[in-house]
Amino acid sequence: MVRKDIRAKNERNARNAREGKTKPRAAYADRIAKKPVVSNTALILICFVVIGGVFFELARLFL
């Protein structure tokens, strides 16, 4: 019973692949390579802290 189901699914998959109905998924390494190391939110937060720190140091220095 289970083998027939597997064979039927395999045959459907092979038929769809031959007809070009399905797009192959990108490899895992390719998907990871496109993903940024640091999220946009974290990058904005880091820039805010650094630029804010520079601003306050300049204000302390000149005022």
- Residues 6-49 have pLDDT tens digits of 888 889 888 888 887 766 777 877 777 777 888 899 999 999 99
Question: Is pLDDT of 2 > 80?
Answer: no
Q: What is the domain count for the chain?
A: 1
**Residue 30 Cα distances to 33, 34, 61, angstroms:** 5, 7, 48
Q: How many helices (H) and strands (E) does the chain have?
A: 3, 0
Q: What is the DSSP letter of 20?
A: T
pLDDT of residue 1: 58
Q: Which domain holds residue 34?
A: 2-62
pLDDT of residue 5: 86
pTM more than 0.75: no
